[in-house]
Chain A
Amino acid sequence: MQTPAPTDYVRATSVAHAISLLEEHGEESRLLAGGHSLIPMMRLRVARPEMLIDLQELHELRGIRIEGDEIVIGAMTTHADILASPVLAEHYAIFREAEKVIADPVVRNRGTMGGSMCQADPSEDLSAVGAALKGTVVIQGAGESRTVAIREFHEGPYETKVGPAEILTEVRFPIRPGAGSAYEKVERRVGDWPVASVGAYVVVSGGVVSDCGIGLTAVGAEHFCAPGAEAYLIGKPPTEESFAEAARLAADSCSPSSDQRGPADYKSHLAKELTHRALRRSAASSQGA
Chain B
Amino acid sequence: MQVTITINGTPVTRDVEPRMLLVHFVREEAGLRGTHWGCDTSNCGTCTLWVDGAPVKSCTVLAAQADGHEVATVEGLEKGGELDPVQKGFIECHGLQCGFCTPGMMMTGRALLDSNPHPTEEEIREAISGQICRCTGYKNIVAAIQWAADNPAMSDSVASEVNA
Interface residues of A (CB under 8 A from B): 1-9, 32, 35-36, 39-40, 42-43, 52, 54, 56, 80, 103-107, 109-110, 190-191
Contact = CB atoms under 8 A, between A and B. Distances in A.
Given A35-B65, A39-B61, A1 B40 contact: yes
B78 interface: no
Contact of A52 (B18, B129, B131): B18
Contacts of A190: 129-130
Interface in B83-128: 108, 126-127
Contacts of A110: 56-57, 60-61
Contacts of B40: 1-2, 43
Interface string B15-35: 001110100000000000000
B19 A107 contact: no
Nearest to B129: A190
Nearest to B127: A105
Interface stretch (B4-12, B41-49, B143-151, B152-160): B41-49
B1 interface: yes
B18 A109 contact: no
Contacts of B19: 3-7, 42
Contacts of A2: 40-41
Nearest to A192: B43
A54 B60 contact: no
Contacts of A40: 41-42, 60
B65 A106 contact: no
A35 B60 contact: yes
29 contacts: A1-B40, A4-B21, A6-B19, A7-B18, A8-B18, A9-B1, A35-B65, A36-B42, A36-B60, A39-B21, A40-B60, A42-B19, A43-B40, A52-B18, A52-B64, A54-B65, A104-B129, A105-B129, A105-B130, A106-B48, A106-B55, A106-B57, A106-B130, A106-B131, A107-B130, A109-B54, A109-B55, A110-B57, A191-B43
Contacts of A3: 19, 21
Count class of interface residues, chain B:
20 to 34
Nearest to B3: A9
Nearest to A191: B130
Contacts of B77: none
Interface of A (DSSP majority class): loop
A56 B17 contact: no
B64 A54 contact: yes
A80 B40 CA distance: 22
Given A4-B19, A109-B54, A191-B43, A104 B130 contact: yes
Closest 6 CB pairs of A and B: A104-B130, A9-B18, A4-B19, A190-B129, A9-B64, A106-B130
A105 B65 contact: no
Contact of A109 (B17, B56, B65): B56
A38 to B, nearest CB: 9
Contacts of B42: 36, 40, 107
A54 B62 CA distance: 11
Contacts of A4: 19, 21
Contact of A106 (B41, B45, B64): B45
Contacts of B43: 191
A104 B40 CA distance: 16
Interface string B126-140: 110111000000000
A106 B18 contact: no
A32 B19 CA distance: 13
Contacts of A103: 130
A103 B131 CA distance: 11
B62 A39 contact: yes
A224 B1 CA distance: 41
Nearest to B55: A106
A51 B51 CA distance: 23
A279 B55 CA distance: 35
Contacts of A7: 18-19
Nearest to B64: A9
Contacts of B64: 9, 52, 54
Nearest to A4: B19
B161 to A, nearest CB: 22
Given A6-B18, A39-B61, A104-B130, 13 more contacts: A3-B19, A3-B21, A4-B21, A6-B17, A7-B18, A9-B1, A9-B64, A32-B65, A35-B62, A40-B41, A56-B65, A105-B129, A191-B43
